[in-house]
Structure 1
């Protein structure tokens, strides 16, 4: 197997890994956004419910209703705490996925750089070979114009 085909295989694998890392990152970002939206909704609902409780207390509230309000607010507090933890976990997953995506991108870039360097090196070699041929041709032309034979057949 030639070095080029090996490098092509590595580039293909690196591209697949980068694509997979990108899909994972997008999924984690979506999950984070959903968790954040749920947390925001719970916090908003809690604020509204607290306002309702304050209004009910100003208007006069039965002890049983007050107990129900407080119990419900306690369950909202608990739900908000769980949602906050979920958001934190999702943020960590996004960070980890981002780092993985960046690492995969660096790996692919390093292979691309290697391909570019090889192409430049091949071009330099080709240019040198062309220059040698051109120099040789020029030297033969100078010898001919000076009257010297340029090949063994012409001297016989």
Structure 2
């Protein structure tokens, strides 16, 4: 009985290690995704700001060379934004791919913990029966002793 319990406790320990590792991995890919998303937002904000400034300047009149430079820079920003969107999509896929593994490790640990609590409940019932039997035997002995003392 004891070996099975320690084996189960070993499995619970290993399963907890797996949960911890999966949780760390999920946390890491989620943080990476948040970082990429922040960078994307910064790029979009910068592009919008740059576009607004340019539009204001263009209203006042601007040399053709400046328009070409502006357009080239906007194109570069758009390409960077597009690349960042792809990175965000990949990061989102990594998060989604990591979640099932994390859930699986949590479920496995939960199953072992259920087995452990069932085993603990069985053990508690066995202990309670043993204590009841010991108590009954003690009471019966005490009764017999009192009875034998009365007869003497």
Q: TM-score category by the smaller chain?
A: 0.7 to 0.9
Equivalent residue number for residue 78 of structure 2: 77
| 1:131 is aligned to 2:132 | yes
1:26 matched to 2:24: no
CA RMSD of aligned residues (A): 2.0
- Greater relative contact order (CA < 8 Å, ≥ 6 in sequence): 2
Task: After superposition, give the CA deviation of every residue in 1:83-138 in whole Å (9 maximum; x if it has no partner).
Answer: 11211221222233233222212211221221111111101011112222333444
Residue of structure 2 equivalent to 1:35? 36
Q: Give secondary structure in 2 for the equivalent of 1:2.
A: helix
Q: Could you say which residue in structure 2 is the equivalent of 1:8?
A: 9
Q: Mind listing any 5+ residue stretches in structure 1 that lack a counterpart? A: 148-156
CA shift digits 1:68-93 (9 cap, x unpaired): 11111112111111111211221222
Q: How does 1:55-134 map onto structure 2 within 5 Å? A: 55-134=56-135
Q: Which residue of 2 aligns with 1:54?
A: 55
CA distance in 2: counterparts of 1:26 and 1:136, whole angstroms: 58
Q: Distance in 2 between matches of 1:5 and 1:127?
A: 21
Residue-pair matches, total: 147
Q: Distance in 2 between matches of 1:60 and 1:84?
A: 34
List gaps (5 residues or longer) in structure 2.
none
Q: Tell me, in whole angstroms, the C-alpha distance in 2 between the residues paired with 1:52 and 1:136.
A: 95
Separation in 2, partners of 1:70, 1:47 = 13
Taking structure 1 as the reference length, what is the TM-score of the superposition? 0.82
